Amino acid sequence: MNNRFLKMVEAFALAFADGKKIELGDAASLMLSKARKDCKMLIFAPHPDDECIIGGLPLRLRKDYDVDVKNVAVTLGSNVSERSRRLRELTDACDFFDWELIVALEMGLDKVNLDSRENYKDLWEENVKVVENILRNEMPDIITIPNVDDANTTHVGVRYLVLDAIARIDGFECIVLETEFWGANRFPNLMVESSNQDVSELITGLSFHKGEVARNPYHLTLCAWMMDNVRRGGELVGGQGGAVPDFIYATLYRYSRFADGLLVPMYENGKIVSVDDSLEFLINTK
């Protein structure tokens, strides 16, 4: 049977096969400007590599607006014997992006999940204090946390850990971007396009996590995930029945503001940001 889409499908398969031949973590730093605006962003990453997967918006803010982006490694994974290796790989990835790295308690926190929150309250309290101290030291303008349905137990745990911590800081306000990977945002309200160049850099960043992508080459499927984000975002952010924007790659977030102890969504109908659109609305919030 003559199927005109066969050539396209074969091209995707060939690109994936070619990607497997590319050396992992083989790239110099992006060599960005050292100037940093008076705007600070903290990525609260449940595991090393999450900072790259959800990094479309942080990458644009650092490259285009000199935002001071810092990655907070909340954990270094559950396997204690692998943490040193994962920390080395994470350091290389953050160096590539020119993001400062902050590691909770030097080698990450343990048992960051809802079971600990409910049944091991002393441990949870210790972990909350660690995150609270990071927030007090940094006083960020923007933070990222996983969305409530992000499926992985540590991802969901990190969400509640950070929210519990920020609730303790009197008068604290910031933008909160809820991220997704294992489980999708139910109600995303911000879709941010990434250029081909930026996506290639996100994949490069992921490739520094050599131990992880060696067992599962998910850096090579990032393109497909970001393409699917456009499909979903066209309806969920743009509105049902609307025209999907002419994007190839995008990341979805839920954009809210934390103030007076409440997390309030900033857009009811959603906002779509192309590579040519300004992101100043995230920066000029003071």
Residue-wise pLDDT for 45-95, tens only, equals: 999 999 999 999 999 999 999 999 999 999 999 999 999 999 999 999 999
**pLDDT, position 31:** 81
* pLDDT higher than 60, residue 149: yes
- Cα 112–Cα 140–Cα 146 angle in degrees, nearest 5: 35
Q: How far apart are CA 161 and CA 22, in angstroms?
A: 37
* Per-residue pLDDT tens over the stretch 266-284: 988 899 999 999 999 999 7
Q: Domain 37-191+253-266 falls in which CATH fold?
A: Rossmann fold (3.40.50)
The pTM is what? 0.96
**pLDDT, position 286:** 54
Q: In the chain, which residue ranges form alpha helices assigned H by DSSP?
A: 6-19, 50-53, 56-65, 83-97, 114-119, 121-138, 153-166, 196-207, 210-215, 222-236, 280-283
What percentage of the chain carries pLDDT values higher than 70?
A: 99
**Residue 285 binned pLDDT confidence (cut-offs 50, 70, 90):** low
How far CA 201 is from CA of 43, 205, 211, 247, in Å, comes to 17, 6, 19, 18
**pLDDT, position 242:** 82
* Per-residue pLDDT tens over the stretch 187-224: 999 999 999 999 999 999 999 999 999 999 999 999 99
Q: How many CB atoms lie within 10 A of CB 262?
A: 9
What percentage of the chain carries pLDDT values higher than 90?
A: 91
**Residue 2 binned pLDDT confidence (cut-offs 50, 70, 90):** confident
